Structure 1
């Protein structure tokens, strides 16, 4: 409601919440509240309901525990007007607030400090270079037609990582516009975060998407996708190993010749020594980030 550029429509989706949030949101003029009778994993079904109900050409997402700067929509609107016509996804920078009030400023340093437009191979390369997805859900705007064409959030086949899976599919449709200006805050100290839940001990849903993309991609892009699949598989296994032994089936598509050391760690994570090796894996992650 405080945005310097007004939203064309505001849709709030109540995914069977246990507080008075829907009633409070409904008191604001012009706010449409949609209610679901059964909660969906990861909030994916709730977002899909909002997308299908929307009438605007572009959609911005804001999870209940995140925050926009007052110029967020204004910044996004300027990006949309200036971007090439085949741009399907727009992302700005954001800060992270961690438990204890620790704040990481300018998380979007991965954009190289300048606004730029990325074709699909460059988007994957940026993902690999920075060690994480170049866009984040509460700091993006997506073309609604591209969301529908990509198949929306994977509510039926994914409990975790579905956001990244969708952004990857959309990046395969057109360009991604990145702007390093910080317009959002990611609160990682919330008590009810989806990302705080235990990881499923299964193959990351995004790996299925990558395998399908490899069949149609040029050879140079296929190599990038293999590296991305390995990276996401390894990181997902490390997080799973914090609470349980990792199943072999969860990393069955890992290509060992690309990352032999990580492959050795994965073998260990599937053994009774998984906890110590998980700590080794986290150390390798830190060393990789520094390198």
Structure 2
């Protein structure tokens, strides 16, 4: 049996379709927990209009997506937790494929499927040279995959054993950016991901409002680096190498892109935390970036990496 957790905030135009994609699953032994995070539109009304006893609506004061997801996790009565954002959807066999994978890999705790980003006029399929071939299922290292491209796990394509949250922690409440990545690296520190490479999850991408287009808040950046430091001792030697490769690139690029938006105090705090992960050459680059225009340095860094 599976508990589906859907955080909801002002998605009245999408939530009905999202719920219908869950209720139309070929695997029907489930509960759906919609956590309305203080919506100010008609989102909650749209959920109440769904006449299905498997759907329950929890309404909380606006506290952010992490609190909403955590509320759903703690409320869930089943051992397996699936997440779905309120404007995303699943193919009808999403949960059926997950259940089959659990039977095939009974000792694993984290499962994910192939996915597509859905733009206004096109869909873009997730691809990575490390994941299993199209149509197949296999075990992957989360940390190896992120050295090549986007993570194999997102908030609409994953199924996780509930007990794992109690062991590794929940979503960081208060984080507004990368709160999901922060959790995935904690959960995957001791576990492989069973990846079903079939196009079963559809993630709506609004370019205009994408978090990638906004400044990376210094507080969230620091918190994410702190988690990186916490996770490193838990990794195997092989995954440590993969993770350091990813972390160093991520930190340097994020700092160069956003440094002009940070205060002097924030830059110092970020540099202090980065020292625990970044080698001397990278730290020197960050120090220069903290006092000079970031634009030229970022362009120079990109040319250096390409060359």
Q: State the match for 2:248 in structure 1.
A: 230
Structure 2 residue 189 is matched with structure 1 residue 172 = yes
Q: CA RMSD in A?
A: 2.8
Distance 1:81 1:138 in 2: 21
Report the Cα distance in structure 2 between the residues aligned to 1:108 and 1:182, rounded to whole angstroms: 13
Pick the aligned partner of 2:168 from 150, 159, 165. 150
1:89 aligns with: 110
The partner residue of 1:271 within 274, 288, 291 is: 291
CA distance in 2: counterparts of 1:238 and 1:69, whole angstroms: 39
Is the alpha carbon distance of 1:47 and 1:238 closer, same or farther for their aligned partners in structure 2, counting shifts above 3 Å? farther
3-state SS in 1 of match to 2:217: coil
- Flag the 1:137–1:108 CA change in 2: closer, same or farther, 3 A: farther
The answer for the alignment partner of 1:206 in structure 2 is 224
**Aligned-residue offset at 1:139:** 0.6
SS at the partner of 1:271? coil
Given that 2:110 and 2:193 are in contact with CA atoms closer than 8 Å, whether structure 1 keeps it comes out as: yes
Give the direction of change, closer, same or farther, for the CA distance of 1:216–1:170 in structure 2 (3 Å limit).
closer
Quick one: structure 1 residues 37 and 240, their matched pair in 2 at CA, closer, same or farther if it must change by over 3 Å? same
Which secondary structure does the structure 1 equivalent of 2:68 belong to?
A: helix
1:56 CA drift (Å): 1.0
Scaled by the length of structure 1, what TM-score is found? 0.82
| Unaligned residue ranges in structure 2 (runs of 5+) | 1-22
SS at match of 1:117: strand
Q: Structure 2 vs 1, CA of residues 170 and 109 (structure 1 numbering), >3 Å: closer, same or farther?
A: same
In the alignment, structure 1 residue 46 sits paired with structure 2 residue 68: yes
Give the CA deviation at 1:234.
Answer: 2.5
My pick for the range that moved more, 51-60 or 206-215, is 206-215
Asked if structure 2 preserves the Cα contact closer than 8 Å seen for 1:67 and 1:186, the reply is: yes
How many aligned residue pairs are there? 276
User: How big is the shift at 1:133?
Assistant: 2.0
Cα separation, 2, equivalents of 1:8 and 1:238 = 45
CA contact (8 A) 1:90 1:141 kept: yes
1: CA distance, partners of 2:116 / 2:235: 34
* Cross-structure match for 2:157: 139
1:246-275 alpha-carbon deviations (Å, 9 max, x no partner):
8242243244538x4x55553343234113
